[in-house]
Amino acid sequence: MNKDYKEKKIYLAGHTGMVGSAIKRGLEDNGYKHLLVKDFPGLDLMRQDETEKLFQDEKPEVVIVALLLQGSVEYLQTILTVLSLFTIT
């Protein structure tokens, strides 16, 4: 991530999962201090009204989504297949 993002408020959804916790550690290890990673009991990010309220209340400037539903191996395989079609240079 660009150094300009180090001072921005970053919301990391899924920070307790395997991928999200690795992202969180990487951000913290690289000096990102304004991470919004607290749990929001009862928050359902699939509900637009709840997500909009979270964004209005917390005002994140950057959002990283590291969420997968448990048991979604087929979904993960689909994502990896799609990503394999792109080359990052």
User: Each residue of 6-56: pLDDT tens digit?
Assistant: 899 999 888 888 888 888 999 999 999 999 987 777 788 778 888 888 889
Q: For residue 61, give its domain range.
A: 3-84
Work out the pLDDT band at 70, boundaries 50, 70, 90: low
Q: From the CA atom positions of the chain, what is the Rg in Å?
A: 15
Is 4 strand, coil or helix?
A: helix
Query: Within a domain: residue 70?
Result: yes
- Indicate which CATH number applies to the domain containing 44: 3.40.50.720
User: Each residue of 39-48: pLDDT tens digit?
Assistant: 777 788 778 8
How far, in Å, CA of 68 to CA of 61, rounded? 22
Query: Within a domain: residue 89?
Result: no
Query: Within a domain: residue 60?
Result: yes
**Number of domains the chain contains:** 1
Q: How many residues does the chain have?
A: 89
Token reading at 35: 């991470």
pTM of the full predicted structure?
0.70
Is 63 strand, coil or helix?
A: strand
